[in-house]
Structure 1
Amino acid sequence: MTIDPLDPAGIDQVLTEEERAVRETVRDWCADRVLPHVGDWFERGELPEARALAKELGGIGVLGMHLTGYGCAGMSAVAYGLACLELEAADSGLRSLVSVQGSLAMYAIHRHGSEQQKQQWLPPMAAGEAIGCFGLTEPDAGSDPASMRTRATRDGDDWVLTGRKMWITNGSIADVAVVWAQTDDGIRGFVVPTGSKGFAAPLIKHKGSLRASITSELVLDQVRLPADAVLPEVRGLRGPLSCLNEARYGIVWGALGAARSCYAAALEYAGGRTQFGSPIASYQLTQAKLAGMAVELAKGGLLALHLGRLKDRGLLAPEQVSLGKLNNVREALEICRAARTILGANGISYEYPVMRHMANLESVLTYEGTTEMHTLVLGQALTGHAAFRH
């Protein structure tokens, strides 16, 4: 038997038929709708078809696909992970759109919302007819969300929200925002229709990463909401952190998609690029790079699959998600950088996907928890000592 150079560990052989079908559906859609255009979108710094793409993604069932009911597909965690991998193999911005929609905004409503909130928002969001965003990070509160300044106060039966959120994917095109704010009763989540008076979502420009993605600031200036806008089932940081854990799980898989794309580009390039009379794939140093990339890609894939199987059995701990994100994003970046060296000067050209994925992964490395935070999460789990404030 010979191994598949793009799947040297043979992970495909242990996937179910349904899991492979999900992967192929998403891969084919990306090949048709995203890959021919995404290099141009990235260079221009825009995602011009975001709402149309969201409807198509809803049509193939990937928005909130790991949730059940309310129009959601109810797929396995592994199937969702494979979808994230294929989406990020196209572009991290596309996977971010899906992650924020399904694992942050929809998950928050699905897990912590009222029945009325679920009925109102989840079916159109699953179909891609309504787009959601998730407002937690602030200009001065990133890794320490407990220090957020956005505040919600009671005024009769209403809530009034004031504050700012930063680096919000989907913000400028969203129909609904899940916003976390300080209250007299601790941190609470609010379902905020973006048409509310006092709500604005200016686009963030001049990005060097995630350029084919809509990133915004949220400005809440005395936004008045009815009493039932609050998420009733959770108080404190447990709410937003539970959502972030869902999104981080998708990143464990997604980062491998960016890495696979760069590895595949390097493998093909090495076979066709001739120097000193031979393809550079025939030289030992190039083979050492390719072998190292293949090993880390295989290890990351096996780790993602194992964590996915644990999640499907209800056995996945948050610290294990930190382990997966810390390892897989770090190694994906190294794979992309090694691919760039194999392509030489061509590695910086947008005719190839390598530099685009490298730039995107610099954002993936620090969003949904920085390397430092995930290291300390693991450190606390290993030693029993919290070192976040030392």
Structure 2
Amino acid sequence: MSKIYLAGYFRKNLGDDLFVKTIANRYPTSSITILVEPKFTEPYVDMPNVKVVKYVFYRRLLNKLLSIIGVTDFIERKLISRNDLIVEIGGSIFQQIAKEGITSRRLNYLKSNKPIFIIGSNFGPYTTDDYYKTYKEYFSKVNSVVFRDEESFSLFREILVVDVAPDVVLGLPITKSNNEIVQHKKKLAVVSIINIVDKVVATNKNSIQNSYDRKIKELILQLIKRNYTIVLFGFSEAENDTVAANRIFSSIPSHVRNNVLLKSHDNINDSLDILQKADIMFSSRFHAMILGWRLQIPQYVFSYSQKTNNVIRDLFPVQANIDVRQIADIDAEFLIDNVNTMDKKTLENVSKSAEIQFKFVDQFFKNNS
């Protein structure tokens, strides 16, 4: 049995949890180890081949004490030593923070002499040429990097082990039961919420947040008039999606609040069940958009980052979308009337192409079977 150490953002974020699910499903005979804070372990309990190592207090303390004498990320290094390869999976995992270069974790990955595979990411945003050059060198030393957008790929395309493919979640298998039409008395609208101040880089982000909150409230009231039940869905509690959802919910007149439900992601299957029942979506989260395409749900996308714009441009340029910075300028009724989603033929092609995300890992297993 092969043993994978899976590195990523495991903080109960639906998009990242779907990465884990996809890897676990693709390599069912492999043992997959992840290091997770105890309060974020619930999404992985139904994955039999995923071994969750809880990053409990004594492990954090040991890491901190050893870092004083220059031994960084001891717990993770120990786990890596017990595995055959490292797979780092995630979306925005190469954003420049201040003058940071290669993280100590990634330097330790290289020192481990284990094969390293990077799946499903985009590169940036970055502000210095040194950051770009440092990662160009790093990518030339790992076994493979598969980006999810053409812009990131174009920065490193001359490196032979670098490729590009659609987002991992676009290849997510959808079971027959997931495709069943669910009958319910009222139409269902899912609105994925973000806390603008935690996601948008701008000097006026408080003002943008106020405009966003007002527009979501206006949208909800229009949806209620059209006989929808609305789910305000927080994909990531750790990034304050739930805080934003509660704030917006509190602004809704009390006499119509019974038409609005609050949902925070805890369990992958529960979250997917809700999304599959949606008649219409309004997608602030990147992976809300991706799931809207995958599940063929008409949607309007509220883009907060260049990564969203890049993927729309690459895969489905006619997707209805607006930058959250301009959201005050659009009418709620227009949003509802102009939803769309990826057509079936394009989705079939994109879903098949998403398999390329795993081609280097697949080849590794083939060569070592």
> TM-score, normalization: structure 2?
0.28
TM-score, length-scaled by structure 1: 0.27
Bigger share in helix: 1
